[in-house]
Amino acid sequence: MKRISLIAFLVVVGVQTIFANQATQCFQKAWAHPADGGLGLTRGQATEICNRARYANEVILCFRVAWAHPADGGLGLTKGQAVDLCKRADDAFEVLKCYAVAWEHPNRHGLGLTRGQAVRLCSQASSAASVIGCFEKAWEHPSRGGLGMTKGGAINLCTESDGN
């Protein structure tokens, strides 16, 4: 029984160490000066985007694309919006894909959300299709098989973010 307890303890401590290492790696990249390959975020922004990060490279990649100018293939978000969208991102592609569909105009098969609404909906998305599908069902009128929720209610229901 003591071995099982010791193994369980070591697994938990080991997992926490892995996450701590990812968070510190993320912080180092986020806080470093752009001339040194970093993002150049303030300490507060770097702490916020990297807190509880499980995959440092995914968070950093997500931020780089979210903050980059659209002419450079980015989304053109402000630093604050990019931090909010990308904090604790486990899969940058899914988060960015979710945002792109959520913000896109309905005439081009998007949801037509504001930037802020799209950021709230897609932060920490692990599956863009699931989050978008949930929102569409929640926001759709009941006569068409939906729940008839407000946009804000649908975002709150469907976001995978814990709000932090």
21-69 pLDDT, tens digit each: 999 999 999 999 999 999 999 999 999 999 989 999 999 999 999 999 9
pLDDT of residue 160: 85
pLDDT of residue 162: 63
pLDDT at 12 over 80: no
Rounded to whole angstroms, how far apart are CA atoms 58 and 88? 8
**∠ at Cα 146 (141, 148), nearest 5°?**
50
The tokens 């098969």 sit on which residue? 109
Rounded to whole angstroms, how far apart are CA atoms 12 and 65? 33
Nearest CA to 125 out of 101, 104, 107 is that of 101
With beta carbons less than 8 A apart as the criterion, state whether 164 and 155 touch.
no
Residue 135, C-beta contacts closer than 8 angstroms, at least 6 positions apart: 102, 111, 121, 154, 155, 158
Q: What's the rounded mean pLDDT across residues 14-26? A: 70
pLDDT of residue 13: 40
Phi, psi of 107 (to 5 degrees): -65, -15
Element (DSSP H or E) covering residue 36: none
pLDDT at 16 over 70: no
- Model pLDDT for residues 57-109, shown as the tens digit of each residue: 999 999 999 999 999 999 999 999 999 999 989 999 999 999 999 999 999 99
With beta carbons less than 8 A apart as the criterion, state whether 115 and 85 touch.
no
Nearest CA to 58 out of 78, 99, 37, 29 is that of 29
pTM of the model: 0.83
